[in-house]
Amino acid sequence: MTAGSKVIDGKVLAGQVRQKVRDFVPAFVEKTSIIPGLAVVLVGDDAASQVYVASKGKAARECGLNSFEHILPQNTSSSDLLALIATLNADKTVHGILVQMPLPAHLNEYEIIQAIDPKKDVDGLTLTNVGKVGSGHLEDAFVPCTPAGCMLMIEQIHGKDLSSLNAIVIGRSILVGKPVANLLLLANATVTIAHSRTASLPEICSTMDIIVAAVGRPQMIRADWIGRSTPRGPTIIDVGINRIDAPERGPGKTRLVGDVDFNDVEPFAGAITPVPGGVGPMTIAILMANTLRAACIATGEPTPRF
């Protein structure tokens, strides 16, 4: 058992990333006469998505970026959405394009995402960017925002070189699991990719130095999954965002929890992210950084490192 785990404050680290963007933008604008622009497209009236879009727009404006928000009705056709993306692809004031997921059921998410110009794909989901990340060509690639944020958190604890460390990623999605695994490999970690059907998962986790939980099951990882072989304990990055009933707060009330049972696991972790306030703030901060990088690449200017 550790003497006290280090809780990784995502709000603080995200604030540092956003401040770096904010500090970089004025000189970029003075030199190029161009304000980096982020276009976010929302289809439908999903309440959670509306909150996310508003948060991204506010963050962009606070960082000195232009924010273009396109709110489309629920019944928007595929052809109309593709036409908007084509317009944004051609718009020189727009450097980053993000289509808020999930889309309504009648729209093909794969088709829509692949229509985005890879040079403006600040969410890192086009096949071009997926391939660049998978093959280690990061200089002109856009890494998905959540995985990039996870890696910055891990670097806070272990540095950039993860040689000799064993890491497990629980989850295999194209949005988080697979890109996090690729980034860990590029940092020289020895990586295991697992998922909800992996046999003996608690035993495997107990041997790990780094655990990234991105499986979408509330409080799945408990204290008996955490190894005791070292006095430090593993670094645990909890990507999960799950809403569960909270009767202690009153009838019908809910609360957010991660894929890790924080209170159960925290005493045995060397470092751990909370939910909320961990990975979540990093996602928007990296989106701002990716938008700035997109503008730099588009104008041939040096890109800042985060």
For 253, list phi and psi in degrees, rounded to 5.
-80, 155
Residues classed as catalytic:
56, 100, 123
Residue 101 is classified by DSSP as S
Nearest to 28 by CA among 289, 294, 295: 295
Which of 148, 149, 185 shows the shortest CA–CA distance to 168? 185
Residue pair 115/85 in contact (Cβ under 8 Å)? The answer is yes
Kindly tell me if the per-residue pLDDT of 235 is higher than 80.
yes
Same fold, 32-117 and 144-280: yes
Q: For the chain, which residues make up each domain, given as ranges? A: 32-117, 144-280
Mean pLDDT of 150-175: 96
The 10s digit of each residue's pLDDT in 39-88 is 999 999 888 888 889 999 999 999 999 999 999 999 999 999 999 999 99
CA distances from 225 to 117, 228, 269, 296 (A): 42, 10, 11, 44
Distance separating alpha carbons of residues 211 and 58, to the nearest angstrom: 32
Residue 163 has pLDDT above 90, yes or no: yes
d(CA 187, CA 189): 6
How sure is the predictor about 3, in pLDDT bands with cuts at 50, 70 and 90? very low
pLDDT-wise least confident of 81-85, 227-231, 260-264, 297-301: 227-231
Helix (H, G, I), strand (E, B) or coil at 257: strand
Q: How far apart are CA 140 and CA 298, in angstroms?
A: 10
Indicate the pTM of the whole model: 0.94
> Which CATH code fits 144-280?
3.40.50.720
Across 246-275, average pLDDT? 94
Bond into 276 cis (ω within 30)? yes
Q: Which CATH class is domain 32-117?
A: alpha beta
Distances (CA, A) of 282 to 60, 101, 300: 14, 18, 26
